[in-house]
Each structure stands twice: as C-alpha cells, then as structure tokens.
Amino acid sequence: MNFTERDKNNIWHPFTQQKTADAPIHIESAKGSVLFSSDGKKYIDAISSWWVNIHGHGNEYIANKIAEQAKKLEHVVFAGFTHTPAIELAERLIQILPTEFSKVFYSDNGSTSVEVAIKMALQYWYNQGITNKTKILAFENAYHGDTFGAMSVGGKSAFNKPFHQHLFEVIHLPLPTGNNLEALKIRIQELSNQDTIAAFIFEPLIQGAGGMIMYEAEYLDELLSVAKQNDIICIADEVMTGFGRTGNTFAIDYLQNQPDIICLSKGITGGFMPFGVTVCSQNIYDSFYSDDKQKTFFHGHSYTANPLSCVAANASLDLLLAEKCINEIKRISKSHSDFVNEIKDDASIKNIRHLGTIIAFEIDTSEDTSYFNSISNKVYNFFIERGVLLRPLGNVIYIMPPYCITTDELNAVYMVIKEFLIYIKK
C-alpha cells in the first residue's frame, strides 16, 4: 500500500471534506520556505504552513535547542514544579510586550490560549462577587478557534452552525470603519450602562481566518478607549498577528490603548512545537490571588509549559529579535507593497490590502466573497501544480510567507499569482 492509501485508511484530516478532497500530498522533508514531497516535487510554502513557520522549515538553531532540551528534561508536571525554559520565556515575553503585563499562563494551542483568556476574564468578575458581568463582546466574522468558548466568541458561520444552540451568548459587533465608529462607541457605552459586559475580545488589525480582513488601528483604539473607561476586560487575540506578522513584533504595538489579556500561539515556536500562551495584567491576576481556594484558576493541560515548547519559543524569539530577521520582515513588507502597486488595478481582483508580511485580495467572481466561493479549489490547484502552496480562503488569496523566504522565492510566488490573473481572464 502506498502512503495515499494508508493515509486514506486511517486518517481524518482537519477542515477537509474527506469524500471530495484530493488525496493529500505526502511531504517528506522541508527546508527554509520549501516543502519536498516524496514524489520528488517542491512547493514554496507561501502561507508558513497555517501561519506558524515564521523562520521557515528545518531551522537548525531551533532544532538543536529542542534536541539539547529533550536530553535534559522533556516534560514535567507544571503544578507544583517549574523549570528554566518556562521561567526564561515568561520573563522575555513580559519584557517585549508593549504594555505592563504581569503573568504568563501556558497551554498548548491557539484555541486553548483563547479559552484561558475567556475563563480568566469571566472568573475575574466572579471572584469579586460581581455576578452580572457575564456577557462578552466580539466582532462579527471573527475566528478565535474551534473549541466551544472560542467558537462562541467567533462569528456565527457555517463552520460552527451544527453547534449554535450550544454556544454561549456573545454580542457581536461589526468591525469599526470611518462610517460606523461613532455608532459603535455609543453601542458599547449603552451596553456598558447595563453593566453586563465582562470582556471584549478581538483580533487586532486583521481578522485572519475570517478572510484576512484588515481594519484601522486608530478605530480599534477608540473602541478600546470606551471599553476601558467602562471596566470591560480587553482581550487581544494575537494568535495569528503575533511575532512579527504585521511588521511590528505584535499588532498591539500599533495601539495606544492596551489590552488586559493577550493570546499567543502559532508563530511562537517557529512551527516546531504546539504551544499556547495567555498573558495577563497584574489586575487580572490579583483577583485570583487569595487565601480562598475557591478563587483558584482551575485550568490546565497535560502539556502545559512543555519544556520543549518553551525552549523552541525562546529560540524562535532569539531569531525574531535579531537584526537579520527584523530586516527580512522589512524586505518582505517592501516587496509586498511593490507587488500591490503592480497588480492593484487588475480587473480580476478587488480589495487588495497589505500589512507587514501579509498581502490579501479577493478574486472578483460572480459569487459573493466567502470561504465557500467555488473558485477556491481551482485557485489552490493552479498554485499547487506550479509548486506554490497558497491556500485561499474561498476567493480570498493571501500570502503569509516565512520571514526567511528569499527574494527569488517571493518573486516566484508573485509570478504564479500574475499567471493566475491572466489564466482566469481567458
């Protein structure tokens, strides 16, 4: 039996309609921005494998750090025990985050980092005996993960439809624009007057899985200002935007008003280890710090603060904060803006946008912009056949490359996109 048959026999892939999807490509190895398949083909990974491999694949520095740590301490229960990689990482994260965060809580993926944030926010009020602050504000079309809390704060969509009756109540607001900003501020103020809003969760500056929708830092800042004046806990979900994606280390670096809690994952370990981190302010922590055991944050995962994940994150940070990587991010951003200028007037696309290392645009089809736009498979296959991994969100094509992508590789990605734009006009 070949790999395809063995895969089909026993594996159920994520986000995949197993009946109609093409057989998955068997990848044998990867280096830098390139994936190598077992049938001898190469693919430029222009989406950093679901946005995680910020330093590309097979990075030896991170690999060696993990290998060294694996021989020393691969794991230890994190209740009642601690270890240096976790301590060092917490110190560094608190130091590089732009506001005065105080405590780092470890978990193991993006969704759990969000679950932890939501639970922290709700229990923050509960621990103080404030029982009416129970509702959460979020943005329409948001994506915060696939666990139940994360689905609840995410936008209502076909993804979570089978579970709608099981999701808790969340008030979803439209993204702020120049037109609705004042109305949104009034809405948040009115909701706050009823004194029921516990927290506000948002993906700062870019809604990722919702279609790479970008919005202004300035508008978000104004909403945060109203939220903060009304004692609403602000949660920045930087699972996608963190670690250099937007051109700054964090998207919240663009904001004046800072969140009380931030969720991090994806790029944190450079794609080497599953990991999630939720960082909170002293104020949040203080509400749990008590002689009363009932005020404990009763949350944890078996792999919480896994030492291999922590060293991978520390190593990834070493690389991210070095001048080389900072320059690579600037290079990609500059190259992206040149590419935007080159294709922005193409009749087949609309709404082209760019921030830092991310470009997105929509293919103008007769259907609405949506994850289920039928052009999606055609686009994916067109790129794959030409050795580029781009995984459109419906008719939204985006590029989110590893920072080590070479200029030639990036140009190859742009070329394939330009080829596609000619192809669809035929």
Give the binding-site size for ligand PLP (rule: CB under 6 A). 14
Q: Which parts of 248-277 interact with ligand PLP (CB under 6 A)?
A: 265
Binder among 43, 143, 297, 420 for ligand PLP (CB under 6 A): 143
Residue nearer to ligand PLP on the CB measure, 160 or 265? 265
Beta bridge partners of 359: 354, 399
Asked if 240 interacts with ligand PLP (CB under 6 A), we say yes
79-87, 103-111, 281-289, 410-418 -> range binding ligand PLP (CB under 6 A): 103-111
In the block, tokens 């508008």 appear at 219
Cβ atoms < 10 Å from Cβ of 123: 19
Q: Compute the least distance from the CB of residue 274 to ligand PLP, in Å.
A: 7
Enter the tokens of residue 182: 């004042």
108 counts as binding ligand PLP under rule CB under 6 A = no
Of 4-12, 33-41, 130-138, 141-149, the segment contacting ligand PLP by CB under 6 A is 141-149
Alpha carbons 97 and 82: distance in angstroms, whole number: 22
- Name the amino acid, one letter, at 301: H
Least distance (Å) between residue 281 CB and ligand PLP: 20
Q: Output the CA–CA distances (angstroms, integers) from residue 404 to 56, 59, 330, in the order listed.
A: 6, 10, 12
Q: x/- binding map, residues 111-130, to ligand PLP, per CB under 6 A?
A: x--x----------------
Please name the residue that has the structure tokens 């994936």.
35
Q: Would you count residue 237 as binding ligand PLP (CB under 6 A)?
A: yes
Smallest distance from the beta carbon of 250 to ligand PLP, in angstroms? 13
Q: Contact, 251 vs 236, CB < 8 A?
A: yes
Identify the three-state secondary structure at position 356: coil
Q: 330-354 burial by CB neighbour count: b if 16+ within 10 A, else e?
A: ebbbebbeebeeebeebebbeebbb
CB 356, min distance to ligand PLP, A: 15
Interface with ligand PLP (CB under 6 A), residue from 55, 65, 103, 144: 144
Q: Is 203 in the site for ligand PLP (CB under 6 A)?
A: yes
- Smallest gap, in angstroms, from Cβ of residue 237 to ligand PLP? 5
CA distance from start to end of the chain: 40
To ligand PLP, the closest distance from the beta carbon of 252 in angstroms equals 13
Supply 113's token pair. 């980092």
- Element at 105 (helix H, strand E): strand 101-107
Nearer to ligand PLP, 142 or 197 (CB): 142
Helix (H, G, I), strand (E, B) or coil at 184: helix
Q: Output 32 or 145, the one with its CB closest to ligand PLP.
A: 145
Q: Is 412 in the site for ligand PLP (CB under 6 A)?
A: no
Using the minimum distance from each CB to ligand PLP, give the nearer residue, 83 or 144.
144
Contact 134, 122 (CB under 8 A): yes
Instruction: Check residue 47 for interaction with ligand PLP (CB under 6 A).
Output: no
8: buried, middle or exposed (CB in 10 Å: 19+, 13-18, 0-12)? middle
CB of 207 to ligand PLP, least distance (A): 8
Instruction: State the nearest-atom distance from the C-beta of 280 to ligand PLP, in Å.
Output: 17
The rounded distance, in Å, linking the Cα atoms of 235 and 111 is 13
Using the contact rule CB under 6 A, the part of the chain among 203-211, 226-234, 277-285, 406-414 near ligand PLP is 203-211
| Extended strands (E) in 245-357 | 261-264, 276-281, 349-355
Query: Considering beta carbons, is residue 114 or 224 the nearer one to ligand PLP?
Result: 114
Whole-angstrom CA distances from 40 to 28, 37, 409 are: 9, 5, 18
Stretch that binds ligand PLP, among 93-101, 105-113, 286-294, 321-329 (CB under 6 A): 105-113
Angle 375-385/407-423 helices, nearest 10 degrees?
130
Instruction: Point out which residues bind ligand PLP (CB under 6 A).
Output: 109-111, 114, 143-145, 203, 208-209, 237, 239-240, 265
